[in-house]
Chain A
Amino acid sequence: MSTTLHLGTRKGHFAIEKNGSGWRVARSSFLGVQVPMLLPDARDNKLYAAVEHGHFGTKMHVSSDGGATWEERACPAYPSKPEGTPDILCPMRQTPIPWNLEKIWSLEAGGADEPGVLWCGTIPGGLFKSTDGGATWNLVESLWNRPERAKWFGGGYDWPGIHSICVDPRNSKRVVLAISCGGVWETLDGGETWDRYGKGLFADFMPPGEEEDLDGQDPHRIDACVSDPDTVWMQHHCGIFRSKDGGRTWQRFENGNPAVFGFAVAVHPQKPETAWFVPGVKDDMRVPVNGALCVMRTQDDGKTFEPLRKGLPQEHAYHLIYRHCLDVTPDGRTLAMGSTTGSVWLSEDGGESWTRLSAELPPVFSVRFEKAGP
């Protein structure tokens, strides 16, 4: 079982370790600076951190000792905008989409057979790939130049962003990613070409007749089952969906208990029929239903969903669990989640019961276990 949990927060990185007396905050890094995304790379035990300075932009740092010491690496940067290239305007607000890195919103390792390959999803919607462990990054122009990008728009932030990147463990060239708002995309050739999918997704917020437009979908987060990557669960702005064909087609579930709105989703690494969510009141409220925090689990492929409340606050609790703030260990037993109000909980029984590790941390943006290498 993993014994280190990494948190990226509004005020830095925190490592939480398990020792004889339980889990405790062991150390911090970049104190005072936003850390929107972390990646513990199981292939070589490197830890990557996106560090977002309020004034001086985002930088990438890497650690070889679990966050005790860091060195700055190259950060994904958009290439010079070619002279004469017209701006793409946000379809909602008619303002130009930036050609600058606004935020690193996802960071994933390539396959076990691709040492050094890293994927980075950003706001305003650019995907970056590194083949040298983050020494250099290149914008994946095959996706950035797709004409459909003109229809993408901001969901969680002002500009569209890539928040979920799923590398197929069976075939590292196959990558499925999700964009808020811009739907679900797949490459079968390591990023050379892309197709967009999403039949069955439904965006209630779109104008009548446009609800099934693939480019207007707002997946909040997708997660593929490690042992069955064709099973992908999605927490969408308009509910919960699940695909059994790698993201091409989706089934909608409206039987969430207590709700189908939320941001985070985690899939059991060995059991594709099991997934966890953190439900909330849609969508202008974004608080736990009745002020009672719960994690919601299905163990029967969506036939039923059950709220798991033991150990979680049930009165006047207004925690929001962002999309990258729920993680599960490879054995499917240990889960962790962090909230916008600086609480972190851990469950060592598949979500049945939870223990609060801290209520004193900054707002949490990213929760990731160190996972054992291959």
Chain B
Amino acid sequence: MFKTWPRLLCIWVMFLGLSACGGGESNVSKGNREGILHFGNGTEPQELDPHVVTGVPEHHIITALLEGLISKNPETLEPEPAVAESWTVSDDAKVYTFQLRATARWSNGDTMTAEDFVWSWQRALLPELGNQYAYMYFPIVNAEAFANGELSDFSQVGVKAIAPLTLQVTLNNPTPFFLQLLDHYAMYPVHRATIEKFGQPGEAGTLWTRAGNFVGNGPFVLQQWDLNKVLKVTKNPLYWDANTVKLNGIYFYPTENITTEERMFRVSQLHYTNDVPTEKIAIYQRDKPQKIRVSPYLGTYFYRLNTGLPHLSDVRVRKALAMSIDRDAIVNSILKAGQLPAYSITPPNTLGYTAASDLRYDPEAARALLAAAGYGNGVGFPVTEIIYNTSEQHRQVAVAIQQMWKQVLNIDIRLHNQDWKVYLDSVSSGNYQIARASWIGDYVDPNSFLDMWLTDGGNNRTRWSSKSYDELVQTIAPSAETRQQRYAALQQAESLLLDAMPIIPIYTYVSKHLIHPSVKGISSNLLDTPYYKYIYLQPETQLSVTP
């Protein structure tokens, strides 16, 4: 039996020897050589149909495959020409006329026309399609009625092809952020013949989005889609601006486990990660600052208060709760990634708009307000529950706020962790007291954060309502003649909201990515959208001499 051990050792050494020869060239080295970007993309995309999906991972892929009338400047996010090479706006700011470029092509060689947009937008609004982003079209005349099934004649909707390359769009009201909407994937065109080949226009989930079938008009074409493994796109030679595109392809990996994603980055399997584990941020910032990028993001983390409950219906209580949260401590001690303490719902510098807010951390004033509401030193204040969906970070923030409220106001808070779908059910049905929440802007405009608090708005969910607020957001701001006047109206609305405090802003998000130094031309912007056609990869031989 003594002889068995050396044999075992031999087997083990052989095993390791076999594996040792398996390393090979890393994705990053090979990618740099071949011009392929290896991109960590969060989760597996649900679909690639721009009129069906709703998520960010899908957004990352669809923007590679399709393009709308306009694009955006990668840094400022101001509108830039895309399929439309120019546009004019009528004096009353209600009619937009887009001139499409003659060189725009579908990836199968078909010419792009204004009719493509008319047909695509009609499809996006078909009630049977169930497009959750149909509301993006609602500034257009009769679009809402068509989407709701109240109108069946699409010719009455304000979208017309007045010439093969001229598209006219008529709006209900002046909508200053309309151009911003056009770069949202919900408003991208789709190839009619391809969709009709695989099913009905109002049918979701047909095979038109599979590799080999997909016809797009973006800088890349779909090459391969292996579920839960990788999705590959390659450069589209027929793209109108193909000369600007430097990458030969992008490989998108579904990296839902961010710890695994970070390890993949460390062994050079990824050029770019979707996220960074919180505990690694400080380490990278200290040891490898050239590999981590943290940028402002158009999103706010806040708590919803159920204002229908007796004790939370008192604005003094809501303000006391808001004023006794030390946001600096939360962002510096818990989040530690450069998040900003939030004192308004709209993130600072949202295309030039920054809300003025009186909200501050003021324990003395908070205690006084709570006492004025009849709960001096917290006496008689009912035990109140915060619900949050399963996440270590939500729990940590909730625990910190629980302690702050105990310390400052002497009130007892219970924490309740819920599964994501249970949490959604609780919040949407109003079955909560205080709920953690977040909102990411769909487009860069304060309206994206402010129209959700309209009376009976589907995303309001706090039971708070104000006619003055509704009027400011729905009527006064849209009819303002200048951006300055419009922002002033929105500022007034936001002040009303913060004065009523049905929500407690806590912090403004940041986007966090690990980016290999060989990736160049990737800008950071508020929407965290990578504009692939400007990205290029620097071979590592050149990288080593780059200062």
Same complex origin of A and B: no
Binding site for B on A (CB under 8 A): none
B residues whose Cβ falls under 8 Å from a Cβ of A? none
